[in-house]
Chain A
Amino acid sequence: MNASEELSALAAAIPIAEQLLAAWKDRHATLTAAAALEKIGTDLADLKTEVAADDAKADAMLAAKFGIDPRD
């Protein structure tokens, strides 16, 4: 699994959590559980954003170090 694929997998997991959160709210309306599931969605989104940012920063560092165009 390359970086792009792993980010896609993470992105795919977010709507799963959101859908289950909605289903849980409908069935149980338990604030603690709902908050926990909401946090899962937030965590996964945060992870995806931060990992992508780390990759972009490392790629930019590498490009600058070796004098190559990062778009290549």
Chain B
Amino acid sequence: MTRPLCQGCKTSPCACRTTPRLLAVIACLALVACGASQRQTTLANTVNAFGVVKTAFIAYDGQHEANIVNGCDVKAPAAECTAKLAAYRAERAKFLTALVAGYQAVVDAYRLDTDPSVAAAAVAAVSIRKALQSLGANI
């Protein structure tokens, strides 16, 4: 990425300024990373942001599983409730896979220290956001 693009992010309504979504911020920061120092800062911020997402997800996960069980009709077969939990966990697995892939992309970016590797971490962040949207988590 070139420096003008970095400056453009500060002056134009790019995603990191128009949406509160944390992962959009990560994607924007990663896409405008310029130079080794800025890449390092971007990656450090990305790790911190992933940590915030992880913490928020843990809070969501426990509450959502409890809500599923509490919402089950006790007169219905237990298998129906088990199936609902399994369905949620299957969707959750997609998010967890995306999050682990995101962390892996950040590790790779630290190791490679190149703009393409930082861009790949940004792509992974977008995948995490999509997986969160699929889960219905309001994070």
Expressed in whole angstroms, the minimum distance between the Cβ of A65 and any Cβ of chain B is 6
CA distance A54 to B93 in the complex (A): 14
Using a CB-CB cutoff of 8 Å, which residues 93-139 of chain B contact chain A? 93, 96-97, 99-100, 103-104, 106-107, 110-111
Q: Is the CB of A43 within 8 A of B58?
A: no
Expressed in whole angstroms, the minimum distance between the Cβ of B56 and any Cβ of chain A is 12
Q: Is the CB of B69 within 8 A of A51?
A: no
8 Å CB contact of A3 from B57, B89, B111: B89
Interface of B is mostly: helix
- Interface bracket on B: 35 or more
8 Å CB contact of A36 from B54, B65, B110: B110
Interface of A is mostly: helix
Interface string of B78-98 (1 = CB under 8 A from A): 100110011001101100110
Q: Report if A65-B96 is in contact (Cβ < 8 Å); known contacts: A43-B51, A50-B61.
A: no
